[in-house]
Amino acid sequence: MAQTDTAQAPDGAVLSVHNMSMNFGGLRALSEVDLEVRQGEVVALIGPNGAGKTTFFNCITGIYTPSEGDVFAYPRSGKKRRVNGMRTNLVCELGMARTFQNIRLFPSMTALENVMIGRHCRTKTGILGAILRGPGTRREEQMVVDSSYELLKKVGLEKMANEYSRNLPYGAQRRLEIARALATEPFLLLLDEPAAGMNPQETLELKEMVIRIREEFKVSVLLIEHDMKMVMSLSDRIYVMEYGRVISTGTPKEVGEDPQVIRAYLGEESDA
Amino acid sequence: MAAENIFAHVKRALIAAVWLAFLTAPIMVIRVDTVEKTVTWRWMHLAYMAAGSFLLALVWYIMLERRDRGKANKDAEGNVKESALARGFADPKLVKPMLAFGFVAAVAFPWIFSMYQTNILVSALIYVVLGLGLNITVGLAGLLDLGYVAFYAVGAYTYALLNHHFDLGFWTVLPMGAIMGAFFGLLLGFPVLRLRGDYLAIVTLGFGQIIRLVLENWSDFSFGPSGIANIDRPGLFGIPYSVEQATTYIYYIMLGLVMLTIFVTARLKDSRIGRAWLALREDEIACQAMGIDNTRAKLMAFALGATLASLMGVVFAAKTTFVNPASFTFMESAMILAIVVLGGMGSVVGVILGAFLLMLLPEYMRAFSEYRMLLFGATMIVIMVFMPKGLVRAKRKIYKINAETAG
């Protein structure tokens, strides 16, 4: 079990969500959600299909603006920032990078270029710089290439650097998405069902990779996942959602024993 | 195997030929003379029709099969086989002499060929730049712009009006035209930021029509459909020159502008900006989620494309010495878009080839006069069926990785 706490202050939060709700017209997709991710933690968000997990991700990454509540981020600079309704690219620039449930790579760009896109917000060549291609631009460009290649190596894709990303096998595409997210130098990595569609062996490798990445890049991880084995062994804390509400939180053990969670997953007991 | 295939093709071609002959029989065979009140039966026409369509269909089916077999080969080998054309452009040993020869030929052209030929080539070069400009918006950033000709009109009228009212020269207006183009690019860019795909296409189509209709109907401003005549040709340090020399002069100006445009677009394509455009084209949501400012990237693409079109507008006005709204119809936008799609979206070399093909083909097919547009359309269909990615498939750059840092 990877529950051993990294030596952080108990309240070293990097993301805290208070009372967040999201309404689509009359539909309440999220209702008064509270959630906190602390420095160096791996936090899992689980729940049945349609519980609002991806909506939650979309709310904190600026794709949707939450109807109520607050989302605060504590980036590496140490300045508390309110994220509600911030533009998606600025959320990423702040240091919260995500992957997608249904892989969203740039299919006709090479694997290397996909990662290079992640470097975009940390570099600054403008139109003139690109046209003149002075020494500064060339140095920056080479740095982007080298650091992106370095990241590809971290996820074991260096041999496929010049392949079009649409030609990569499924598992490799998932890892490439993680590398792309890491390229933005995040303090919080948001993974939306990273193990979806993977076989047990690949899932195991993915788990080890997440642990390695957390140590090496000093990132916190918030992940949505359905693979219970992976969630239970990987996460420090778990939030369980059902019908847009958080119904239980705690360590994997606590959550596993919570009768409400068992009911949500296995259905109402007839004699209860 | 092959023999069986041939047999199958012959059978299908035969069926197609018989069917087509049957369908066209009434118009091809029967001729009714209403004056003489006679009916002539021209059975031979039926045979011509059947034989012609049989041959065409056979070639068509065989070509289609070859294309599919080519595709299958690619899948089996795992890597895409390139056409001889693409390989030629990739081989550095061939590229340099080819470029040198091309440059010398381009410089010598007006001295070898007639003024008429030079004039045609100037038009083709204008479309090369227009194609490269639209290639930024459509090919790289994936923003389907059907009103591109509007920016061309902006440039042309900027020069025409400033020259008419204030006597400003070509070289003064050229940068002003670029600025006007960028301004109008942003003007169109802002309202369509949220749109994409078909919706974007319709709004830009509307924008193109609005510009043309304003020019046509606001007579006090633009002199309406009669246009503006007697626009000055580009100045040459105050040296007077003849019409013939003017063509040569404008040809060289265009040659310079084309090279500048190729340089700029090629560099942009493989830069941080160009990659952001590609990402925008591939997946807008992922692009923004990875920290790229969509708004900026889109506005930049619109403004740059518009700037190039507007520059060409200025040259066009100076070349023809006359502008009127009829030069800026939707047909022009469609033509430029065809250049980009046919040449190969996102490929600089492809767009240049596309521009020459689409501009020069109709010129040199004048010999077939009335069948010109028919042949032109057929050529486009054939290219699109057999080369759906365009003449030159856009390829991504292979980046050089520093061994020391990557080690």
CB–CB contact B282 A108 (8 Å): yes
| pLDDT confidence tier of residue B66, bands split at 50, 70 and 90 | confident
Number of domains composing chain A: 2
Of A163-172, B39-48, B151-160, B318-327, the poorest mean pLDDT is in: B39-48
Residues above pLDDT 70, as percent of chain B: 92
Q: Is there a single domain that holds both residue A90 and residue A196?
A: yes
Of A136-150, B334-348, B381-395, the poorest mean pLDDT is in: B381-395
Both tokens of B388, joined, read 């759906």
For residue A7, pLDDT beyond 50: no
pLDDT value, residue B85? 58
- Listing DSSP states for A49-88 in one string gives TTSSHHHHHHHHTTSS--SEEEEEE--TT---EE-TT--H
For residue B74, pLDDT beyond 80: no
Q: What is the mean pLDDT of residues A95-124?
A: 93
Classify domain B113-386 by CATH architecture: Orthogonal Bundle (1.10)
Name which of A87, A117, A123 is nearest B290 (Cβ-Cβ): A117
More confident residue, B406 or B258: B258
pLDDT value, residue A127? 87
Chain B residue at shortest CA distance from A167:
B78
For residue B151, pLDDT beyond 90: yes
Q: Is there a single domain that holds both residue A90 and residue A131?
A: no
Asked if the structure places residue A28 within a domain, the reply is: yes
Chain B residue at shortest CA distance from A152:
B406
Domain of A176? 107-183
Q: Is there a single domain that holds both residue A144 and residue A87?
A: no
For residue B3, pLDDT beyond 70: no
Domain with residue A80: its CATH number is 3.40.50.300
Q: Is there a single domain that holds both residue A66 and residue A173?
A: no
More confident residue, B366 or B300: B300
Q: Is there a single domain that holds both residue A177 and residue A194?
A: no
Chain A residue at shortest CA distance from B291:
A89
Q: What is the mean pLDDT of residues B258-276?
A: 93
Asked if the structure places residue A31 within a domain, the reply is: yes
Interface test with B, best of A117, A160, A162, A165 (most B CBs within 10 A): A117
| pLDDT confidence tier of residue B88, bands split at 50, 70 and 90 | low
| pLDDT confidence tier of residue A181, bands split at 50, 70 and 90 | very high
Chain A residue at shortest CA distance from B301:
A127
State which of A183, A208, A233 marks the end of a domain: A183
Give burial (CB, 10 Å; 0-12/13-18/19+) of B84: exposed
Q: Scanning the structure block, which residue is given the tokens 């760009």? A: A109
Q: Is there a single domain that holds both residue A140 and residue A32?
A: no
Asked if the structure places residue A15 within a domain, the reply is: yes
CB–CB contact B402 A142 (8 Å): yes
CB–CB contact A105 B283 (8 Å): yes
More confident residue, A150 or A271: A150
Distances (CA, A) of B390 to A129, B139, B197, B332, B386: 30, 11, 20, 19, 9
pLDDT value, residue A223? 93
Q: Is there a single domain that holds both residue A132 and residue A167?
A: yes
For residue B144, pLDDT beyond 70: yes
pLDDT value, residue A186? 93
Residues of B in contact with A100 (CB under 8 A): 286, 289
Q: Is there a single domain that holds both residue A199 and residue A264?
A: yes
Q: What is the mean pLDDT of residues B310-332?
A: 93
Q: Is there a single domain that holds both residue A13 and residue A90?
A: yes
Q: How far is B282 from chain A (nearest CA, A)?
A: 5
More confident residue, B65 or A174: A174
First to last CA, chain A: 32
Q: What is the pLDDT of residues B178-205, one digit of tens each?
A: 999 999 999 988 888 888 788 999 999 9
* Cβ of residue A89 closer than 8 Å to a chain B Cβ: yes
Q: What is the pLDDT of residues A23-51, one digit of tens each?
A: 998 899 999 999 999 999 999 999 888 88
Q: Is there a single domain that holds both residue A31 and residue A56?
A: yes
Domain(s) labelled CATH 1.10.3470 in chain B stretch across 113-386
CB–CB contact A184 B294 (8 Å): no
- A16: three-class secondary structure by DSSP: strand
Both tokens of B188, joined, read 């169109």
Q: What is the pLDDT of residues B209-220, one digit of tens each?
A: 999 999 999 988
- Calculate the average pLDDT of chain A: 88
For residue B42, pLDDT beyond 90: no
* Beta strand segments in B217-373, E: none
Of A36-40, A69-73, A140-144, B112-116, the poorest mean pLDDT is in: B112-116
Give the C-alpha separation, B263 to B265, whole Å.
6
| pLDDT confidence tier of residue B406, bands split at 50, 70 and 90 | very low
| pLDDT confidence tier of residue A241, bands split at 50, 70 and 90 | very high
Among residues A187, A154, A160, the alpha carbon closest in space to that of A73 is found at A187
Q: Is there a single domain that holds both residue A192 and residue A90?
A: yes
pLDDT value, residue B353? 92
Q: What is the mean pLDDT of residues A196-211?
A: 91
pLDDT value, residue A11? 67
Q: Is there a single domain that holds both residue A230 and residue A164?
A: no
